[in-house]
């Protein structure tokens, strides 16, 4: 009785699984490291850190960025690699003022780079609200050694149309990254977190 109650209260996530084929992942150009902007936000907290100063930092604060770091904050990470690693693990995405990118590369590059989390650069006149909101709709896809992709595209209570649009967004980007497009995709499946994978037509 208790187990069935837990199952009813659990909102299942919807996962997209893509199996790739005929790809030599030993070649760096065939690896994928992509943050994909979904049309519909996932029911999952995405933590965004903004690295900026002045007016951009103020706008980021008003846009409810999860953390805001200044140039001085970043410079401190140069002598504290453990804190840099901790920062890299704590946030899903990083956004930075374009002029700060060289400094970030020197101080945080070793922590952020291998995780595929180097910041997205933004210009001072960019709408930071829109940039943060877009990052909170993103999913990260990484294909390095294993020719399989699995990412969350929604939850069971989302409208079918919204789920379909999120799936199409991921498929479209991945297809465009592959040398032979859809011919490099062996199979696509969709599954609920507590259910078996269901194959869908390419």
Tell me the domains of the chain and their CATH numbers: 8-43+138-200 (3.30.190.20), 48-135 (3.40.50.790)
Long-range contacts of 69-74 (CB under 8 A, 24+ apart): 71/100, 71/103, 74/100, 74/103, 74/104, 74/107, 74/108
pLDDT tens, residue by residue, 34-90: 889 999 988 778 899 999 999 999 999 999 999 999 999 999 988 888 999 999 999
Distances (CA, A) of 58 to 10, 45, 61, 86, 137: 38, 22, 5, 24, 22
In DSSP terms, which residues pair with 139 in a beta bridge?
Answer: 36
The whole-model pTM stands at: 0.79
**SS3 state of residue 108:** helix
């Amino acid at each position: 009785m208790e187990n069935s109650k837990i199952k009813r209260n659990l909102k299942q996530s919807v996962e997209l699984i893509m199996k790739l084929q005929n790809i030599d992942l030993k070649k760096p150009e065939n690896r994928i490291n992509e943050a994909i902007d979904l049309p519909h936000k996932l029911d999952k907290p995405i933590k965004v850190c903004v690295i900026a100063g002045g007016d951009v930092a103020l706008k980021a604060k008003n846009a409810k960025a999860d953390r805001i770091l200044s140039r001085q904050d970043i410079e401190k990470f140069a002598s504290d690699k453990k804190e840099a690693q901790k920062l890299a693990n704590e946030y899903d995405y990083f956004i930075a003022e374009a002029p700060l990118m060289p400094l970030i590369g020197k101080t945080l590059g070793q922590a952020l780079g291998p995780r595929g989390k180097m910041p997205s650069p933004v210009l001072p006149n960019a709408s930071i609200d829109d940039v943060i909101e877009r990052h909170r709709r993103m999913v990260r896809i990484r294909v390095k050694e294993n020719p399989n992709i699995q990412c969350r595209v929604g939850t069971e209570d989302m409208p079918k149309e919204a789920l379909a649009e999120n799936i199409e967004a991921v498929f479209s980007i991945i297809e465009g990254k592959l040398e032979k497009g859809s011919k490099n995709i062996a199979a696509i499946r969709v599954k609920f977190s507590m259910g078996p994978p269901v194959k869908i037509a390419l």
